[in-house]
Amino acid sequence: MISQKHYQYFNFLDEEQKDLPMEFKLYQNYPQSFYKITKINFDIPVKSHVTLNIYDIYGKLIKTIVNNELLPGSYEVKWNGKDNTGVTVTSGVYFVQLSSGNYIEIKKMMFLKLTSITILLYLLIHLPKIHTIHSDYYSPYITY
This prediction's pTM:
0.68
Q: Specify the pLDDT at position 8.
A: 45
Q: Which pLDDT tens digit goes with each residue over 82-91?
A: 999 999 898 8
Q: Which residues contact 23 (CB under 8 A, 6 or more apart)?
A: 43, 45
Judge contact between 94 and 55, C-beta under 8 A: yes
Does residue 112 register a pLDDT over 70? yes
Q: What domains does the chain contain, in order, with CATH numbers?
A: 2-126 (2.60.40.1930)
